[in-house]
Copies of this chain bind each other. A is one copy, B any other.
Amino acid sequence: MAQQRATNITWHEGHVERQQREGLLKQRGATIWFTGLSGCGKSTIAYTVEHALVERGHLAYVLDGDNIRHGLNKNLGFSPEDRTENIRRIGEVAKLFADTGVVTMTSFISPYRADRDLVRKIHEDAKLPFIEVYVNVPVEVCETRDPKGLYKKARAGEIKEFTGISAPYEEPHKAELTLNNVDVTVQEMAQQTLDYLAQRDIVRA
């Protein structure tokens, strides 16, 4: 709905279409949903992909515990209900980011299949690409690595409802990409992710 010309602008009302923003950015908005046990490497991979994308001129952003649990979701705990609401809110935010045209990566354990499927549906309803990436590392390996000492605390009973120890992790049945993070470098897994995004026409090859 062009309205009138003032200075050098054609004024429009109403929403800007997603495709216009994607055209500016020369990429497609999408959500890359990393899921896996604590310590499996989700965030390291996501941030490595983010760096590589930004170096190639793409706009990417990572949502993770650091920027979500201390902000948007700071009023949620770790009960099953709160975990579900945690993931639901993150999914809704990721959808808005993807609608903006951003290559959005999320790095959360997100242990319940139903929660991940809900987020998938939110994206499907908005006709936005949702790419579930399962970072697959056996719990014994994660526990040996234990970079934050969380498994030790979980074994000592200092952390309740710890995924893989005292709370379930439901493996994805339909992940678009599975990264087996054992005897492989972060760079190789980041490259696999980038290749997949190029194959899906989300970013340039």
Cβ 8 A contact of A59, one of B50, B63, B75, B100: B100
Q: How many identical subunits does the complex contain? A: 2
Instruction: List residues of chain B with CB within 8 A of the CB of A44.
Output: 13
* Any B CB within 8 A of the CB of A196: no
Query: Are B71 and A3 in contact (CB-based, < 8 A)?
Result: no
Residue of B nearest to A93 (CB): B93
Residue of B nearest to A186 (CB): B13
Instruction: List residues of chain B with CB within 8 A of the CB of A59.
Output: 21, 24-25, 59, 100-101
* Any B CB within 8 A of the CB of A168: no
The minimal Cβ–Cβ distance linking A106 to chain B, given in whole angstroms, is 12
Query: Are A54 and B191 in contact (CB-based, < 8 A)?
Result: no
Among A51-93, those with CB < 8 Å from B are 51-52, 54-57, 59-63, 67, 71-72, 75, 85, 89, 92-93
Instruction: Provide a sorted-by-A list of 5 A–B residue pairs whose CB atoms are within 8 angstroms.
Output: A11-B51, A14-B51, A61-B99, A71-B96, A100-B100
Given contacts A6-B187, A13-B48, A24-B57, 18 further A-B contacts (CB under 8 A): A7-B191, A9-B52, A10-B55, A11-B186, A12-B48, A15-B62, A16-B51, A20-B54, A21-B61, A59-B101, A61-B99, A63-B96, A67-B96, A67-B99, A71-B122, A75-B85, A96-B97, A97-B100
